[in-house]
Chain A
């Protein structure tokens, strides 16, 4: 289980997260929606310590900490319990598709090369990229790169997978294949926290949808509740605008 309490973050004088409280059950798939600049990315980045949160408590499985007091070891521990899928893929440019997946397994998790490569090949098959194993990211399409990005995150077997607008940078023709892969990840009851503008997709896979605005969680509920019967005027306003 993941438990976030009073998570806050400011950039200079602007408060970007204002005390986020969020409990995520094992296997739960949560979609976060909300207007631009509301802190959705920042929330995900703080859960992976890519951005340093300022205050709040964080519990991921057996790890519990006061984020304000997090030291180097805590930061690594949190990062090793969460996996991040980036909007711009962020594949290691000097590594092939297979190496992108094995890299952290070997270097961070200290698994043997043979073991890591077997796992990578398994994942490349699942993501439909078996024939691209030895190709560098620059020679892959956006959709293929993002599937490797998701594969790299899957291989880590973390307690939480974070997706920050994984299809927003893609040409429309590649969006479908990436969403399909995410559906397959979701079917395994992998705990997921997803920021996306794909409302139909959210409806299909989310156990819970969260609407954020101004660094706060305004409203949350099942997709039916939130999309069909939004309670807060701000949620209604936002949903009307995105159609």
Chain B
């Protein structure tokens, strides 16, 4: 076994750090969009609008039932062939779109479970004072559901950050793509991928700490 080229590894760190904004940017954008879409899907699954409900169930089932990589290829390489207005789509946009739809499907299920878990008395109290369905959801039910769903949603965000590495298969030079290029130049594959693995690991660990803080904060606020 050969010794690790430590100097090469240390030199690679600042190069890869430069790609963190893109990696986190894609993850954050997809997270925000997935949260919005996931909440809408979840509310629909609870309220059950006829016809729409079937479509939503189909959507969730498809995006949970197929690999993310397949979905990304379908968007980036496949869709432009059938929808000509998509020819201009770039890799970053396609990746964010794919991550959004994929994770929205998963989040919808968690948020739905959290909504259903909100005590019946909360729904009745909101109705009794004359709130509309939307007011009740926005002001009373969703905030309480969010508290229950928050830890799970942070887990999805962590998963999302790791999944942005798949964007390199769409030709995006993000952290993983950059590592791939560096490694191909130096032939030091083990060193290069070890560095990027450690970088992902550090980011995720930092987020887990934030998650713990968030949980204590949330538990200190209104109790059940």
Contacts and interface: CB of A to CB of B under 8 A. Distances in A.
Contacts of A107: 131, 135, 139
B121 A88 contact: yes
Contacts of B132: 76
Nearest to A136: B222
Nearest to B133: A72
A79 B125 contact: no
A137 B139 CA distance: 16
Nearest to A93: B222
Contacts of B121: 86, 88-90
A80 interface: yes
Q: Majority SS of interface residues in chain B?
A: helix
A179 to B, nearest CB: 21
A90 B130 contact: no
Given A50-B124, A92-B122, A94-B140, A103 B129 contact: yes
A88 B121 CA distance: 8
A80 B127 CA distance: 10
A108 B135 contact: yes
Contacts of B122: 90, 92-93
A50 to B, nearest CB: 6
Contact of A108 (B130, B147, B223): B130
Nearest to B125: A90
A46 to B, nearest CB: 12
Contact of A138 (B127, B135, B222): B222
Most chain A Cβ neighbours within 10 Å, of B121, B122, B132, B221 = B121
A91 interface: yes
Contact of B128 (A48, A136, A138): A48
B144 A104 contact: no
Interface in A69-101: 76, 79-80, 82-84, 86, 88-95
Nearest to A89: B121
A72 to B, nearest CB: 8
Nearest to B140: A92
B135 to A, nearest CB: 5
B204 interface: no
Given A92-B122, A94-B140, A136 B223 contact: yes
Nearest to A135: B222
A138 B219 CA distance: 12
B128 A84 contact: yes
Contacts of A103: 129, 139
A93 B129 contact: no
Interface string A130-162: 000000111100000000000010001000000
Contacts of B130: 76, 79-80, 104, 108, 156
B139 to A, nearest CB: 6
Nearest to A105: B129
B124 A94 contact: no
A25 to B, nearest CB: 23
Interface in A42-79: 48-50, 76, 79
A95 to B, nearest CB: 8
A94 B129 contact: no
Contacts of A79: 127-130
Contacts of A88: 121
Contacts of B124: 50, 84, 86, 90
Given A93-B119, A137-B222, 5 more contacts: A76-B132, A82-B128, A92-B140, A108-B130, A108-B135
18 contacts: A50-B124, A76-B132, A79-B128, A82-B128, A84-B128, A90-B125, A92-B125, A92-B140, A93-B144, A93-B222, A93-B223, A94-B140, A94-B144, A94-B222, A104-B131, A108-B130, A136-B221, A139-B223
Interface of A: 48-50, 76, 79-80, 82-84, 86, 88-95, 103-104, 107-108, 136-139, 152, 156
3 A-B pairs with the lowest CB-CB distances in the bound complex, closest first: A138-B223, A104-B129, A80-B130
